[in-house]
Structure 1
């Protein structure tokens, strides 16, 4: 099998005793109706790397590359045919299928196809051995969650990550836009969310147990035009952007901007600033009608920016102590006839479930939204292990599996002393490769509620793009194969063969400028800066 990642379902070839198809300066591309985005991607991304114009063809017969829709294939399935006489055909069950075929074509052309300009413009064309590849994804939701609230990622870097997702056939970008440490999206009716909430005066350096600080103010946000650009860029790559506005917890940045959002009857919210450390924050939104109306306004603007069917509302790590002490919160519990604070959070979540459903959208939240009763149409991101996802699927709710113990890529990749910020569980490349999104406790019918899986990237200890790259790669390549390919049971997976294919894939990552963790351990410039990390109890200690 060719060194493709993720592994395709079937490869017939290379064939023909060394026969190849060639791309050269005169090679043209024919795009059937509905495949224009892929043709544009070939010219804008692949063409410059190869030093070829890949101009539009006069007709399909004359084209070196043909893009074709075929409704006999499943929506994201494709067939890539390489023939020495008939050229290259990318046939997909939808425009997305054709695009994924193009990602495979790029890998077949070699690592140089991942550069931004040709390194040898005098090369006599590019050759690909004859073969036929049939492929289709296992899951419809193959995602990456990126936290830009803890450390802001400039727009250009977000666009770069969308390209990296596309190169690995991942199709969901979960955009964590708000948290205690920053609000990152412009809301025009509430301008202080970004005027105040997008900046903090300093940041904790390392884990929250660290005594070190970075005293440089940190912040930034995306204008609504930035968001439109990000969404359009993702859409052209058949990636859905799922926005997250975290409520009712993880909201100190919003309360710092608008103190009336907090529980003003039990604390002076006017003294709150944007949080500068990490962990679970005690401040929670007040369960008032005014707060509901405020966030309805936020979501109204959000729905104009993000066409995604799903909208993520967080719902995780919402401490209830302020509600327990608040006369206003207790009065609301009594008014609604609720049993306590957990049901009050459920009421809060259910309100937005109904609100989103009335506008043709679906709510998704972290598995804490199960507490106090799950909203009828809600889906669950199962992060605290498998249990929440299992409970939700058994109750007939859709699930995205993203358990912390397996696919939190902010957790360290090795237990050695040189890891740059050693926190969490040790999860190696092999550990991620052996992750199984569908737990065996589910029946076949229940398993159909598993929409798919995603890897999560929380950026408390990732202060720049290089640190994000280091934590995410190469493990995202293993995760992509888990999400796309029909792999055997975890214990039966051929990790040795995967490592062999990764040897080729590292060259692609090098060409893309990805600052990944090398197989032999961090480079000297990637090593820990002496900042104390903190492992999760029961995992190997830091050295």
Structure 2
């Protein structure tokens, strides 16, 4: 591939929704800014929007389409002269565009001689909407008068403080014992990383206020107490993690009082006693759709710790990429970690024609896991199987049944993207992969995905159909075979309960979960892992992503649940319905106030609540090529989720939260 260094072409895209008289129109206008005419070219675009395979196209044709990567060709014999334009309009999409990030986020040309030319690209415009596009976190201003005298997120269980002392320059930590010394060191590293020049931890010679730190009886695992007196401050807890959280609270109080002394104080006396409402307070990060370097992940973990979030669900594989080093199968990262023109995985979701992507070496994973442990965070890796495996299958094609014919498609438009439950090779490969992951991740909890298997999965595989006949009978196998080459998953993930795909997936999950249990591990899965009711409920948990009601029903069946409904807790969803907001819309929208006030167990019985592990927000990365979009979508909503997980429901207050949220850190600070 030869890539021209300077863009001689510009692309503008526009969106017009369907009306009573007109079909929807997604128009792409290419301008030739060069001094040479071109012909026989293809325009390649990618972004979250997916062109419907059966699309009607004006001005050209859809030459190729894989998920959100589309290639348009002009009419035969068409010549694009210098300073002239060519417009191609698609009248069919997998879903209508709702936000400016839904449109194309990368574009390039493949010229007649095979060379690749970059194309300058402007954000997609909606016809009739000229609002300024929004990027960057919304930082709520700190008011002159706040509902509370101290700045703490998430809000503690009891705050009984009084008086105002001169705001100290910093905190001089005086730990007693190994656990306290470790907590003090972790806190010092945290604030030095997040707030490098503030000197939050400093010795008494530099004006640090003495803070005694020690283990005491009578505390839960993450509970702590802070006592303020004329002599200084004392932090007590039953564990190292509790001491660490107490210091985070103290650090927040100090930063608030120091940066906004007219609004917040540093207490002279009194006590704060605190412990979390829920044990699982998680954040999921999809690093398959967009890659985040180890440095980004580590800084993100520090922000999680500042919010007292304690689970990091690391989504390491999907159709678009494989992101973790596996020694037994180096081709997983050699092939699956990179996207680009002419590569097995093409440019997707805003990645350009040049090879782009990356993966985490084992050394990098160990760094992340070690840091997380210091911050009180357990890391849960996810390898998404048996669906969402397009990249994996490009790297290890022998996982496909050699006799398989035809195609089935996932909701995201990937063909034949599921590893085969009927092949012995599947389990040989997966068990080697899982053994390597178990060695890396100390929490011994492995998430295996199990979501969004297409209704027609394996319908053209003789091996799968033979196995389905054995376990479900000839009738079920025959019915499943009829789904071959039938397009499903066009506008939403299929419900597969009772289908041949569900039966085969259950066979697969039962074996994988049993293997993980034999290694002493808990198995995590999305709620579809309940298909067939075959996994051991005592050694697994589910992430309920569809609705609170669906999670409640699964809890009623005895599954341990982490609640993360897409309508509210998926942080890739936009903050409002406005076109100018970035993000997705397939599950709805959720601004920070809506997320903050959401009850994750509304309508649950006491028996169902007994199966609740906690809550989790999920960061899916399709729209986040632009890191300013990441900031816009994640902050301050991640802090709102943190307060739901930590603060007692009756003590939550949106007015208080909004007054304090502007003091919380963001990842990029991009605009």
Please confirm whether the aligned pair reaches a TM-score higher than 0.5, indicating the same fold: yes
Is 2:464 the counterpart of 1:329?
yes
SS of 1:471 mapped into structure 2: helix
Query: 2:649 corresponds to which residue?
Result: 487
Is 2:320 the counterpart of 1:181?
yes
Residue pair 1:197, 1:254 contacting (<8 A) in 2 also: yes
> Quick one: which of 344, 357, 375 aligns to 2:504?
344
SS of 2:305 mapped into structure 1: helix
Partner Cα separation in structure 1 for residue 620 and residue 414 of structure 2: 13
Change (3 A) 1:500 1:254: same
Residue pair 1:112, 1:508 contacting (<8 A) in 2 also: no
Partner Cα separation in structure 1 for residue 307 and residue 216 of structure 2: 23
Query: 2:599 corresponds to which residue?
Result: 436
Is 2:525 the counterpart of 1:365?
yes
Query: 2:374 corresponds to which residue?
Result: 236
Query: 1:515 corresponds to which residue?
Result: 669
What is the TM-score when the length of structure 1 is the normalising length? 0.82
Query: 1:475 corresponds to which residue?
Result: 637
Residue pair 1:197, 1:253 contacting (<8 A) in 2 also: yes
Structure 1, residues 155-201: CA drift from partner, whole Å, max 9, x if none? 00000110010000000000000001000000001000000010111
The offset of 1:327, in angstroms, is 1.2
Is 2:203 the counterpart of 1:88?
no
Partner Cα separation in structure 2 for residue 141 and residue 77 of structure 1: 14
Query: 1:390 corresponds to which residue?
Result: 552
Change (3 A) 1:229 1:56: farther
Is 2:184 the counterpart of 1:39?
yes
Residue pair 2:162, 2:267 contacting (<8 A) in 1 also: no
Residue pair 1:186, 1:224 contacting (<8 A) in 2 also: yes
The offset of 1:355, in angstroms, is 0.6
Query: 1:410 corresponds to which residue?
Result: 572
**Residues 237-386 of structure 1 correspond to what in structure 2 (within 5 A)?**
237-267=375-405, 278=412, 282-287=416-421, 288-337=423-472, 340-377=500-537, 378-386=540-548
Residue pair 1:174, 1:244 contacting (<8 A) in 2 also: yes
Residue pair 1:30, 1:63 contacting (<8 A) in 2 also: no
What is the TM-score when the length of structure 2 is the normalising length? 0.67
Structure 1, residues 321-350: CA drift from partner, whole Å, max 9, x if none? 242221110111233457633111011011
Query: 2:347 corresponds to which residue?
Result: 203
Residue pair 2:168, 2:254 contacting (<8 A) in 1 also: no
> Quick one: which of 226, 248, 272 aligns to 1:103?
248
Residue pair 2:180, 2:240 contacting (<8 A) in 1 also: yes
Query: 2:213 corresponds to which residue?
Result: 67
SS of 1:64 mapped into structure 2: strand
- For structure 1, which segment, 255-264 or 337-346, has the greater mean C-alpha deviation from structure 2 after superposition? 337-346
Change (3 A) 1:216 1:131: farther
Residue pair 2:173, 2:213 contacting (<8 A) in 1 also: no
Structure 2 stretches of 5 or more lacking a match?
A: 1-147, 260-264, 341-345, 477-499
Structure 1, residues 60-83: CA drift from partner, whole Å, max 9, x if none? xx9911222223011111111122
Partner Cα separation in structure 2 for residue 426 and residue 28 of structure 1: 43
SS of 1:439 mapped into structure 2: coil
SS of 2:459 mapped into structure 1: helix
SS of 1:321 mapped into structure 2: coil
The offset of 1:467, in angstroms, is 2.5
Provide the aligned length of Structure 1 versus Structure 2: 479
> Quick one: which of 483, 492, 499 aligns to 2:658?
499
Structure 1, residues 16-69: CA drift from partner, whole Å, max 9, x if none? xx34574569x3422333223321123334365443764699xxxx99112222
Structure 1, residues 387-410: CA drift from partner, whole Å, max 9, x if none? 432222112120100011110000
Residue pair 1:21, 1:130 contacting (<8 A) in 2 also: no
Residue pair 2:257, 2:266 contacting (<8 A) in 1 also: no
The offset of 1:262, in angstroms, is 2.1
Over alpha carbons, which structure has the higher Rg?
Answer: 2
SS of 2:502 mapped into structure 1: helix
SS of 1:292 mapped into structure 2: helix
Change (3 A) 1:23 1:82: farther
Q: Which has the higher helix share?
A: 1
Structure 1 stretches of 5 or more lacking a match?
A: 115-125, 207-212, 270-274, 517-524, 526-543
Structure 1, residues 373-431: CA drift from partner, whole Å, max 9, x if none? 24123311000112432222112120100011110000000222321345342211111
Is 2:152 the counterpart of 1:14?
no
The offset of 1:223, in angstroms, is 0.2
Partner Cα separation in structure 2 for residue 178 and residue 112 of structure 1: 43
**Pairwise CA RMSD:** 2.9
Residue pair 1:390, 1:439 contacting (<8 A) in 2 also: no
